[in-house]
Amino acid sequence: MTTQDRLIESTQALLWERGYVGTSPKAIQQRSGVGQGSMYHHFTGKPDLAAAALRRSADEMREIAEADLATPGSAHDRIAAYLRRDRDVLRGCRMGRMAQDPDVVADPQLRAPVEETFDWLRGRIAELIAEGQAGGEFTPGLDPADTAAALVAVVQGGYVLARAADRPEPFEQAVRGALGLLAAHRAPARP
């Protein structure tokens, strides 16, 4: 792993654990084992490094989500695979955590990867719902964009509920509820 990669990876972990303010250059250097000179050789400062870390987290989140959403099967099955994916629910979502960080959302450079990731996810799920409608799997009355936004909100809200309860069951319950609502819009089987 290169020095730059160690810095980015350490910053990713610290942002998730501590948020932007709690991620100091000193903590990044300690976690990565990289000295101050090397850190500033690769990045102009903490905001530049945090932006690189957020971009990498965003890319990783999209890659993981796409692996579920691109699996074989019906649109419902692929959405269910994404919702039911094994997660460390009590840690929450890297991007969701950043969306709640006032310092991240106040800075357009830091907020951009977070916003783009959630836009991409809503769009990707909406595509699957529209695909399911075109194939006769879902009823035509199901709005793809609204439903996709609701499903993404279920995941993010599920993390919050699970963390508040300090147990994963509220997340699992939210996913079951969302899948039940989605199943209610499945079109009747064609003869």
User: Residue 74 sits in which domain range?
Assistant: 57-183
- Give the DSSP H/E element, type plus range, for residue 41: helix 36-42
Task: Specify the CATH number for the domain of residue 100.
Answer: 1.10.357.10
Classify residue 129: in a domain, yes or no: yes
For 133-157, the pLDDT digits (tens) are 999 999 999 999 999 999 999 999 9
Classify residue 28: in a domain, yes or no: no
**How many structural domains does the chain have?**
1
For 24-71, the pLDDT digits (tens) are 999 999 999 998 888 889 999 899 999 999 999 999 999 999 999 999
Rounded to two decimals, the pTM is 0.92
Neighbouring CB atoms inside 10 A of 140's CB total: 10
User: What is the four-CA torsion angle of 27, 158, 149, 71, rounded to 10 degrees?
Assistant: 90
